[in-house]
Amino acid sequence: MNYTNQVVTLKKGLKLAKIEEGNTIAATQEFREATMTELQSNSEIRNSHVDLEKFHKQYGFKICPSLTEDQRHELLRTLYAYKNVFARDVTEIKACNGPPLKID
Domain ranges of the chain: 46-88
Q: Are 77 and 40 in contact (CB under 8 A)?
A: yes
Residue type, 53: E
**pLDDT 10s per residue in the chain (104 long)?**
666 777 877 788 887 777 767 676 667 777 777 665 555 555 444 678 888 989 999 999 999 999 999 899 999 999 998 888 888 888 888 777 778 778 87
> pTM score > 0.95 for this model?
no
Q: Are 9 and 97 in contact (CB under 8 A)?
A: yes
